[in-house]
Structures are given as C-alpha cells and as structure tokens.
Amino acid sequence: MSRSNKKWFSLNLGRKQHDNSGSCGCGKTSGGCGSHSNDSEMSEEEFYNAAVDASIGDEREKDGFDQVFDVKMDRRTAFRKLTASLLIGAGAVNTSCNVLSSDESKEKAQIDWEEQFKGNYKLMTDDEKKGTVDRLVRSYQMRTGKTVSMSSKNAEEDVLFGYAFNISKCQGYMDCVSACVKENNQDRNSQMQYIRIHEMKDGEGLKFDEADDNYYHEVPAEGHFYLGTQCFHCDNPPCVEVCPVQATWREDDGLVVVDYDWCVGCRYCMAACPYDGRRFNWSKPEVPEEEVNHNQHYLGNRMRKKGVMEKCTFCVQRSRAGKNPACVEACPTGARIFGNLLDPNSTIRWVLENKKVFRLKEDLGTEPKFWYFMD
C-alpha cells in the first residue's frame, strides 16, 4: 500500500511514513509494471528471505518460543530464561514426565507449555503462526471433542479495508449487533458487544451525549435517527502506540488486531481509544458450545480468555476470505458498506468519491477508516 496514492484527505500530523521497499512508482507492490523484472533473477526462497529480512529484520530473533530457543545465547541469558520457565512450567513438566498419566494428558501439557512460552504473533514467521494455530485447534479438540478450523491467513497485498455507514438508512434494528456477537464468539454473560447503535433526536445534529446507546423499544422510534460506532481501524491508532508489549498492532491491510495470548491486560489501550472501540474480558468469557462459531482466525473470533483485550476486527476470518463482515451481511437496510479502498471499482470507493462523507473526531489525527454519509 503506498500512502501517496490515498484517495482521501489526510491530516498527516507528523505520522511516520513507512517506506515499502517493494513498491515502485506504478503503485503496485508486485510485478506487472515492468520495473520489477529484476525480481525474477532471485529464486523464490531468496526473495522470501529478503522480504522477511526487510520487513521484520532483527525483530525476528527478539522473542517467541522458537525465536528465543533457536538463537545463540550466552550462559547468563540462558540461565535466566530457564529459571523463569522452570517456575511456571514445573506443573506441566510433572504431568508430561509422569509415566502413569495418559498420552493425551502428556500432549495437553506439552501444548500448554508451548502456548505459555510462545512469542508475539506479530513477530512470528508463517511457520510459527501455523504451529500455534495447530496447537490451539488440537487443544480445543482435546478439551471439547469438537473440531474448529482456525486460519492464520496474512494480509493480502494491495488490500486496505475501509467501511462506510449510511446514517439515512440505519433504522436501529441492531441485527448487526446480534450477528456480530454470534460471529465473533463474544462473551454471553457480560453481553459484550463491539457495535453500539446511538439513537439520536432528529433536528439536533450529532449529539452523542444525549443519545441513547442502550435502548429497548420498538424501532425506528418516531423523530429519531440512528448511528452505529465500533472500532474504526484508525490508520494512526493511539491504542497501538501505547501498548507496552506490542500485543496490538495495525496489519498491512489496515486491520487493527490484538494477539489475545500476548496481551497482559493493562487496559492502557482502552484509555487511549477515543472511539470506545475496545472491550475487556473482566471474567472468563463463556459461549454455549452449540453457539460457538467454528470458522475462526487467530487474530479474530477464536476463543478468548479472561483478562485480555478484544475488539472488532472487521471479522478478519471473513474479510480475508473475501466475504463481508457479519454486520454488513446482517444489515437489513443496506446502511453498511465494506470493501477494499485500493480497488477503484469497489463500492466503498464509489461512496467516498460520490457522497459527502465525514469521520468522527477527525481533529485527533487518528485517521479512522470508517466514514459516515447521508443519502
């Protein structure tokens, strides 16, 4: 994605410019314009290695289970790591070395051990990503007897997701909210919802403070209009900056995601988000087994645990598979539009080019990829 090709106004408040080493003047990142002919002289593998080096470089060796244990280290670091592991892993070792316990419980202990000490998903290689996904699938199978399909699909090239919301069309049915909860396996006990629909009075403009975002009456209510908010997947997300462990980040296709297993639960990102886009698991999230959506993505709707952050991912398990997010699909009025901002023929681009669009709290310089418009 090259930023100079943006089709919308950008405040650019001293934001860092990322140079994509692979891009060229034609705006494409892969071959096709002719100036990439050199690439063909490199073998696939060489190119892959060079690309990985360019994108993550040293970070590759910084952390992660394999990342840590495959690197050379001096005696002191090794010793430190071993002691730390020893304390927490003692129980797991005990089970896995116990001759009396079954193979299955040994495998379980092995998985728990590796999951406890795995690295940050953001810094993993594709193989490591696949490894942790396989472990999680196996672990779920052993615990519940059910099989889930979990994807670790990366962002595709030349894709930048964007979203538009038609205020004139929304009638406040909240079908999007229930579809979202179902799709994303949100905790049913605390009634966690990523989307909030604000009911506002006609003729008073966008008065959020007087709006009702928790209504229980027949809609559309006379003299009211409706506006939905969720995570806006900012291009300059404040939540990402503040995370002390880089457990949340912006993917190349613009999705702001969370590694639930890396999050330490400090909730600094929640304080930093100006859009109320983040949710915390205050207790162990529970979804009745028969309601669990088995089509999952590591960064999306896989089962969460207690004490970690989560948020809307534009249904990464669907959007990266070429489908619309659940909220878009569920909306009965067609108020929600989702698509690839880099595709000139997409509906979202048509909306941005032909409608008077605006975003919320633009003065904060967060650059949301979520626009509002009216018919």
Partner 1 sequence: MKQLKVFRSLVKDGFDVVTHGTKNYHLWMGFLTFMMLVGMYCYSIQLSEGLSVTGMTDRVSWGLYISNFTFLVGVAAAAVMLVMPTYVLHDVDFKQAVLIGEGLAVAALIMCLAFVIADMGGPSVLWHMIPGIGVFNFPNSMLTWDVIVLNGYLFLNITIPFYILFRHYQGKEAKSKVYVPGAILSVFWAVGIHLVTAFLYQGLQARPFWNNALLGPRFLASAFAAGPALIILVLAIIRNFTEFKIQDKTLKKIAMVVTVAAQINLIMLISELFKEFYAPTHHSESAYYLFFGLHGKDALLPWIWTAIPLNVLATVLLTFHKLRNNPKILYFSCFILFVAIWVEKGFGLIVPGFIPGPYGKIAEYTPTGIEIGVTIGIWALGAFIFTILARTAIGIELGQLRYRKDK
Binding residues vs partner 1 (CB under 8 A): 62-63, 68, 77, 80-81, 84, 88, 116, 119-120, 123, 190, 192, 196, 198, 208-211, 213, 229, 238, 241-247, 261-268, 270-276, 278-284, 306-309, 364-366
Minimum separation from the CB atom of position 355 to partner 1 (A): 23
Classify the C-alpha dihedral 298-161-236-165 as positive or negative: negative
Which amino acid is present at 346?
S
Minimum separation from the CB atom of position 83 to partner 1 (A): 11
**Residue carrying structure tokens 């590694």:** 259
Q: How many CB atoms are closer than 10 A to CB 159?
A: 20
Nearer to partner 1, 209 or 222 (CB): 209
Minimum separation from the CB atom of position 281 to partner 1 (A): 7
Nearer to partner 1, 180 or 341 (CB): 180
Minimum separation from the CB atom of position 205 to partner 1 (A): 13
Distance CA 211, CA 197 (A): 9
Nearer to partner 1, 198 or 318 (CB): 198
Classify the C-alpha dihedral 231-237-242-245 as positive or negative: positive
Minimum separation from the CB atom of position 208 to partner 1 (A): 4
Nearer to partner 1, 87 or 99 (CB): 87
Under DSSP, the state recorded for 329 is H
Nearer to partner 1, 308 or 335 (CB): 308
Nearer to partner 1, 237 or 339 (CB): 237
Which amino acid is present at 192?
M
Minimum separation from the CB atom of position 190 to partner 1 (A): 7
Distance CA 252, CA 159 (A): 8
Minimum separation from the CB atom of position 308 to partner 1 (A): 6
Nearer to partner 1, 282 or 358 (CB): 282
Helix (H, G, I), strand (E, B) or coil at 172: coil
**Residue carrying structure tokens 């934001």:** 15
Nearest to 316 by CA among 308, 324, 307: 324
Under DSSP, the state recorded for 260 is T
β-sheet bridge partners, residue 165: 336, 372
Q: How many CB atoms are closer than 10 A to CB 36?
A: 16
Minimum separation from the CB atom of position 10 to partner 1 (A): 17
**Residue carrying structure tokens 């398990």:** 317
Minimum separation from the CB atom of position 116 to partner 1 (A): 8
Nearer to partner 1, 33 or 271 (CB): 271
Distance CA 245, CA 260 (A): 12
Nearest to 180 by CA among 231, 109, 253: 231
Under DSSP, the state recorded for 112 is H
Nearer to partner 1, 23 or 235 (CB): 235
Helix (H, G, I), strand (E, B) or coil at 373: strand
Q: For the chain, how far is it from start to end, CA to CA, in angstroms? A: 30
